[in-house]
Amino acid sequence: MKQKSPPKLYFNSMRNLLLCCLLGMLSGPALAQYGTSNSHTYFPPKGTWDERSQTVMGLDTAKISAAIQMARDNESKASRNLEVAQLESFWGEPFLERVGPFADRGDATGIIVYKGYIVAKWGDPSRVEMTNSVTKSFLSTVVGLAVDHGLIGSVNDTVEKYMAPVEIFHPGSAEQITNEPVQPGLIYPFASPHNRLLTWDVMLRQTSDWEGTLWGKPDWADRPGGSPDSAINRPRNQPGAVWKYNDVRVNALALATTNVWRKPLPQVLKTYIMDPIGASDTWRWMGYRNSWIVLDGQPVQSVSGGGHWGGGMFINAYDMARFGLLTLHKGNWAGQQLISENWVRQALTPTTANTGYGYMNWFLNTDKELFPSAPESAFAHIGNGTNMIYVDPDHDLVVVVRWIGSKGMDKVIKLILEALPGTTGTQK
């Protein structure tokens, strides 16, 4: 008896079953790694990053070349010896002596990431260098992780509520300890009547007016507005009322966050952010030689939030771009929510006393003041140098630019935006 052919419905069912199995094998991170027809879902795996032709991605190659040349032409004129550069930036500031490491920088460097793919790069993106106050964005991220993990109940809680006495670690040889016994002192960074009122939110927004001396640096000595006497005896502003960029206060936040996590912040960042986004193993987050504390019986360095007196994050441009891509996707990496979308939303909420600033160091493009050529929704993580991670959700774009003069920042972004398909220059 002649066997009948299986009905068409059978073939369709088997085809659909095989298709579902294939999609299941490529779901989640695997699907994101190898890309789909929706290219913006691509996330680079550790150790590699796909590069796409500018022509294939629909970019104007002449405009991209012009943007790169613009970045090079506007390279910072400050010394490549970054310790000297800091002295040049803050000359005349008291207590300027370095307490953390510095390093010489290399050439002007950058990366353009469009829809997740690298479409252009220049300089030496693999070179590990100081990133100065971009470090603050990593600091605010580990604060956000503490909130997400329930270690901090609310950013509107006072910091003092979470603080234990901090024991300063005084390293020395065994002979010194034997012959010259020194009892490490205790410090209480949030115990004064003013500091007791400060919340995590005002510390993150640089509107705290925190008072005190930390790691040998008094708060009034950072970018003083007048004489030492007037700065020391100034009236204290209500928390949230006045914005002032101040690295002593940033370092007080880093110390408080270390107290909450009860472990070094670089370990927290590595575990929850840098390893999951496939960052290299070459970045280092450093503090000061005198910012060591005793934490649960172990010496731990309280890291700094920038390079004002040395230290901070030393990182390459590729790892900066990965962090920018994470913030572009609202804390999500290849389907894994590493930091809550709610935290990213808070970080992008304008500060009342400075509407161009969210949480440190998320600079907003409110009223298009920072980047006149970019959408108002764009934002950037910025540090001295200038080091910049530009993030543009409207255009699925991340741009890292290192060692550019501040006047060249918008010029470079303008040319890159003009190179994108369907754009005609200044964004509406």
User: How high is the pLDDT of residue 172?
Assistant: 61
Q: Is 168 contained in some domain?
A: no
User: How high is the pLDDT of residue 176?
Assistant: 44
Q: Is 177 contained in some domain?
A: no
User: How high is the pLDDT of residue 226?
Assistant: 74
Please compute the mean of the pLDDT values over residues 81-105 and round it to a whole number.
93
Domain extent at residue 148? 38-163+188-288+304-428
Q: Is 277 contained in some domain?
A: yes
Is the pLDDT at 5 greater than 50? The verdict is no
User: How high is the pLDDT of residue 32?
Assistant: 38
Is the pLDDT at 415 greater than 60? The verdict is yes
Cβ-based neighbours of 79, under 8 Å, separated by 6 or more: 85, 88
Q: Is 173 contained in some domain?
A: no
- What pLDDT digit, counting tens, does each position of 213-250 carry? 999 999 999 988 777 777 778 888 999 999 999 999 99
Q: What is the CATH number of the domain that holds 419?
A: 3.40.710.10
Q: Is 108 contained in some domain?
A: yes
Count how many domains the chain has.
1
Q: Is 169 contained in some domain?
A: no
User: How high is the pLDDT of residue 300?
Assistant: 97
Is the pLDDT at 280 greater than 90? The verdict is yes
Q: Is 19 contained in some domain?
A: no
Is the pLDDT at 20 greater than 70? The verdict is no
Average pLDDT, the chain: 89
Q: Which stretch of 112-126, 145-159, 168-182 has the lowest confidence by average pLDDT? A: 168-182
